[in-house]
Structure 1
């Protein structure tokens, strides 16, 4: 079975992380300040970790 966007294998659901990223850009109106860029980078790393954790290695 393939992973879903709501996979919780690595902590928070991917959909929650994605929602946080979208909210960050919505609040910033598309232009991030330095502190928001740091938060965005952290969210992207969290998202990438969750994606890696949801991948099933082929036999």
Structure 2
């Protein structure tokens, strides 16, 4: 079962989200089901937001 962001509203780190993406899609030659593809798209949005947040935090 895919994990979800903590209930407290705190964002997960980009590294944590990236690891979930890698588990979901271990190799580019593997085709994702429509459910997996939808999850992947949500994870990409979450990952991008985490990266932006980490960049702002670092600045």
Q: Scaled by the length of structure 2, what TM-score is found?
A: 0.66
- Unaligned runs of at least 5 residues, structure 1: 1-9
- Unaligned runs of at least 5 residues, structure 2: 1-9
Q: Deviations over 1:3-51 (max 9, x none)?
A: xxxxxxx61121110110000013xx72101000000000000000011
Q: Distance in 2 between matches of 1:41 and 1:25?
A: 12
Q: Scaled by the length of structure 1, what TM-score is found?
A: 0.66
Question: Which portions of structure 1, spanning 4 or more consecutive aligned residues, are displaced by more than 2 angstroms?
Answer: none
RMSD over aligned CA atoms reads 1.9
Contact 2:11 / 2:50 at 8 angstroms: preserved in 1? Answer: yes
Written as runs of structure 1 = structure 2, the 5 A alignment for 1:2-41 is: 11-26=11-26, 30-41=30-41
Contact 2:24 / 2:36 at 8 angstroms: preserved in 1? Answer: yes
Give aligned pairs, total.
Answer: 46
